[in-house]
Structure 1
Amino acid sequence: MTDKIKKFFQKKKADAKFKLAGPGHKLSDASSSTSSVSSKKDAVKPRRSGLSEESKVAADAALARLQQKRENPTFNTSLAAIQAQVRKELENESNASKSEPHVDERPRSPEEVDLPRNFAAAGVFFRCPIISNDILPRDEWKKNIKTFLYEQLAEERGLTACLIIQSCNNNRDKVEKCVETLCKYLENIVTQPDEEKFQKIRMSNRAFTERVQPIEGAMELLFAAGFTQQKITNADGVEEDYLVFNRDLVPNTDNLVTLIDALRTAEPIQLELDRNLQVLLPSQAATKVQLPPTFYALTPEELKREHQLRTEALEKSQMLRTKAMREKDEIREMRKYKFAIIRVRFPDGILLQGTFSVYERYHEIHDFVAENLEHSDLPFILNTPTGHKLLLEEDANKTLIDLRLVPATVLTFAWHSSVIEEINNSPNKDVYLKPEVMLLVQEL
């Protein structure tokens, strides 16, 4: 990416961080605590840009209670209540001889779909720190990105047009053809500045109407490059629309070279998958079992067809099949999903839940667990339901599909053998998650 685009994004990132700092205040003012926990909402499309003042006060008070508990081990009302509830649920589970709950992998028909409160997650949400600190579904972010970019046109028309071309069009093949055509237009002017035929583009030309005009942002790029739209009478005496290059608007061809470089190197504005962190009691994990539709890579029609194919596959399953054939079918089944729910069960019964792309690596899961641990600097191991130990040394770069963790898995947490003695001697040996993370239990 060109230096200008890098500087453009660096400025936007700096602006975003400045906005996230919140309103200013005088040093003499009594400042409120900046520690807060993002509020959780039951809405399917939450806009979690910040807490209300009332929520901040409540969160700060809860954190203060937990901090007091740390300083005074006898004060553990909040944590003790959670632990007591977990023990009670685990005892009920044991008495009822129920197996460990897992997320239902079977796509249901519209008549079977549970209410959103029974979904394992309300949906799939993303961040885009360049633009704002909101956490939104992908479709909403597409709208916001488009609005954001068009607002930047007045500031930096050419580079912004490159980003619009990359970020506001879905068909990547058409975008690539458009970029190549635009680059050819500009390169012709740079290499042969006196050739008049390269300074006019007939808008009814097939290459222009098929490759350039339909792509959002392409016209803005040409206007930024010095083209203006005019009507010109052709040899047959008919007026036609042309884009005509005006050298007075771009006296220096270096500007065109910069645009060519930007066109070839610009990339779509990327979204970051939000983990949609949840902390669940065993009973909550047992009821939140249905995956929302956004987790599937298939449309409802495709799912219906897959169901028919699965029925036919039952007959094939009766036949003798090789291990390679079974593994191939298993991977094909997992590729129907775009995202996966990963739950980590701790020895105290609490479950930590996060959303991951099926193509993310195991080290992303490991980092997610580590950043939420009370003892985040100590080594630990995650075990799969089959008893396989996931190790960073061996599994760090394996995808969730490689590890068969799609579409949902409950991993079991255990401290590494090298630190068990240290943990047992710790006053907080029964505390696994950070206090601010444990607060999320009470919001579910």
Structure 2
Amino acid sequence: MAAAIKRFFEKRKTAAKFRLAGTGHRLNDPAEKRPVPQSARSQPRPPSRQGPTEEQLQAAQAAMTRLSMPSKPASARRDPLRDQIRREVELAKSAQASAKADTGPTEVVLDGPRMSADIRFVCPMVGLEALPKNEMEARIEEYLMGQLAEEPVMAAALIIQTLNKVPSKVKVCVDVLCKYLDNIIENPAEEKFRRIRVRNRNFQEKVISVKGSEEFLQAVGFTVSQQPGPEGDLESFFMLDADRAADTERLKSYKEILLLAEPIRPQLDRCIKVFHPSPKANQIDIPPDFYNISPQELKKEMEIRRQVTEKLGMLRTKEMRERDRLRELRRYRFAIIRVRFPNGIILQGTFRASETLASVNEFIYECLDVDWIPFSLMTQTKQLLSQDTETITELGLAPASIVNFSYDPDVLREVAAQQGGGFKIVNYLNPELLSQIETL
């Protein structure tokens, strides 16, 4: 195409030279009889022109392409898809503008200093001290190992459920152990059901690789001994003696313990804090542990999404929007909620991002001095309904938000009327919490 355009320009240039040269003449005509070129009669000869530049060639190529396309009738030129793109772009621009102008309660400082109270966990079974998760898990493991001497079967079953991170492997192990017990219960006199070959591949992959399984077998009464294997060589076997195998009721109780055991999980500590009224209440520094990804990865992901969104002209399908929503739900692990009371006092608690608003309401009730009056919570943009079943992330409160607290005004008026107008709430929080108040 570019070569054809260049030839077109050269042809036009040659024709222009012939027109400027005037009419023809013979070579042997005298010079005075030769016709004067028309351009020489009226104006000086223009400088010779060069060929078209690369930019001119590209522009000409685009123009010829447009001209070669069939024209659409006026009625068909209106494109609904283009109109939709234009509307979504305008909506996106206005949303971005309002987001930049919004100085609402959910202000998150990703690069700020770490909070004075990190994420901590408690476990009533091992004590009331709040510890970081890795320390609390080590404390739970230490506690369970210590219980093996007192309650070996129960402790071993809890170790299987608690100290292994892959639930599917735990389920397979429990199923195989139950199968061993069932075989012995149904056939207590059969020696082949009372011994387990240690080198058996199924045993190695599904049982012994799970922490706590060996302790459970030993608690049931299995002992390791050397017995002839399938090829006649001595091998290690877990053996259960005939007397223990005959006690089928005991074996049934062990199986029931194994099936009913549930993992011991550390509980998230609320890390309760109370602050004096402060203009800094909206500034919440978020520790990196609050995110499923690091802050650097989060920033990189947001920049990539911004570029892709701009490239697509902000036109997203329903599936794309749902995918973004699910990605947003998986982003946060924890959330800080600050509750601002009418007197300006601020109550702060830490929650899992997957918890519901009911958990927040329950937390507030436990901290109130007057805990029998209904209350409501309000963000800057909407009221949070107590019957909401959405998670903290779905409500837009993760990773950090501040909500405003208010008692039900109708109930307050009714109580005041019953007490002759003398009812008035001075302190919203209980005295124990108010004694721990600090300054932001």
Q: How high is the TM-score relative to the length of structure 1?
A: 0.68
Following the alignment from structure 1 to structure 2, what is the Cα–Cα distance between the partners of residues 195 and 301?
Answer: 62
**Percent identity between the two aligned chains:** 40
Q: Secondary structure at the match of 1:442?
A: coil
* 307 and 322 in structure 1: CA distance in 2 versus 1, 3 angstrom threshold: closer
- Of 390, 396, 410, 1:398 maps to 390
**More displaced 10-residue stretch of structure 1: 275-284 or 199-208:** 275-284
Alignment-derived partner of residue 113 in structure 2:
115
- How do 1:13-412 and structure 2 match up within 5 A? 99=103, 102-104=106-108, 106=110, 112=111, 114-116=112-114, 119=115, 122-249=117-244, 251-283=246-278, 285-286=280-281, 289-298=284-293, 303=298, 306-307=301-302, 309-315=304-310, 318-321=313-316, 325-326=320-321, 328-386=323-381, 388-392=382-386, 394-395=387-388, 397-412=389-404
How far residue 152 of structure 1 moved from its aligned partner, in angstroms, is 1.1
How far residue 157 of structure 1 moved from its aligned partner, in angstroms, is 0.9
5+ unaligned residues in a row in structure 2: which ranges?
A: 1-100
**More displaced 10-residue stretch of structure 1: 193-202 or 161-170:** 193-202
Are 1:432 and 2:424 matched, yes or no? no
Map Cα deviations across residues 313-336 of structure 1 (whole Å, 9 max, x no partner).
442573223677546523421321
What is the CA RMSD across the aligned residues, in angstroms? 2.8
Following the alignment from structure 1 to structure 2, what is the Cα–Cα distance between the partners of residues 183 and 153?
Answer: 20
Following the alignment from structure 2 to structure 1, what is the Cα–Cα distance between the partners of residues 104 and 383?
Answer: 19
**Which residue type is aligned with residue 115 of structure 1?**
P
How far residue 398 of structure 1 moved from its aligned partner, in angstroms, is 2.8
**More displaced 10-residue stretch of structure 1: 241-250 or 373-382:** 241-250
How far residue 176 of structure 1 moved from its aligned partner, in angstroms, is 0.8
Following the alignment from structure 2 to structure 1, what is the Cα–Cα distance between the partners of residues 335 and 278?
Answer: 21
Following the alignment from structure 2 to structure 1, what is the Cα–Cα distance between the partners of residues 153 and 123?
Answer: 22
Q: How high is the TM-score relative to the length of structure 2?
A: 0.69
Following the alignment from structure 2 to structure 1, what is the Cα–Cα distance between the partners of residues 428 and 337?
Answer: 17
How far residue 404 of structure 1 moved from its aligned partner, in angstroms, is 2.3
Following the alignment from structure 2 to structure 1, what is the Cα–Cα distance between the partners of residues 280 and 397?
Answer: 17
How far residue 267 of structure 1 moved from its aligned partner, in angstroms, is 0.8
Q: Is the 8 A contact 1:101 1:285 kept in 2?
A: no
**Which residue type is aligned with residue 408 of structure 1?**
A
Q: Secondary structure at the match of 1:198?
A: helix
* 214 and 399 in structure 1: CA distance in 2 versus 1, 3 angstrom threshold: same
Following the alignment from structure 1 to structure 2, what is the Cα–Cα distance between the partners of residues 417 and 167?
Answer: 47
Q: Secondary structure at the match of 2:289?
A: helix
* 235 and 181 in structure 1: CA distance in 2 versus 1, 3 angstrom threshold: closer
**Which residue type is aligned with residue 418 of structure 1?**
D
Map Cα deviations across residues 114-151 of structure 1 (whole Å, 9 max, x no partner).
433xx2x6222222112211111221121111111111
* 192 and 98 in structure 1: CA distance in 2 versus 1, 3 angstrom threshold: closer
How far residue 216 of structure 1 moved from its aligned partner, in angstroms, is 1.0
* 129 and 434 in structure 1: CA distance in 2 versus 1, 3 angstrom threshold: same
Q: Is the 8 A contact 2:107 2:401 kept in 1?
A: yes
**More displaced 10-residue stretch of structure 1: 201-210 or 191-200:** 191-200
* 325 and 348 in structure 1: CA distance in 2 versus 1, 3 angstrom threshold: farther
Map Cα deviations across residues 174-218 of structure 1 (whole Å, 9 max, x no partner).
111111111111111111122222111111111111111111110
Following the alignment from structure 1 to structure 2, what is the Cα–Cα distance between the partners of residues 283 and 149?
Answer: 45
**Which residue type is aligned with residue 273 of structure 1?**
L
How far residue 165 of structure 1 moved from its aligned partner, in angstroms, is 0.4
* 196 and 312 in structure 1: CA distance in 2 versus 1, 3 angstrom threshold: farther
Map Cα deviations across residues 12-36 of structure 1 (whole Å, 9 max, x no partner).
xxxxxxxxxxxxxxxxxxxxxxxxx
5+ unaligned residues in a row in structure 1: which ranges?
A: 1-96, 107-111
Q: How many pairs does the alignment contain?
A: 336
Following the alignment from structure 1 to structure 2, what is the Cα–Cα distance between the partners of residues 159 and 178?
Answer: 16
Map Cα deviations across residues 14-71 of structure 1 (whole Å, 9 max, x no partner).
xxxxxxxxxxxxxxxxxxxxxxxxxxxxxxxxxxxxxxxxxxxxxxxxxxxxxxxxxx
Following the alignment from structure 1 to structure 2, what is the Cα–Cα distance between the partners of residues 286 and 418?
Answer: 29
Map Cα deviations across residues 225-276 of structure 1 (whole Å, 9 max, x no partner).
2211012233534222111112334541111111111222211013322111
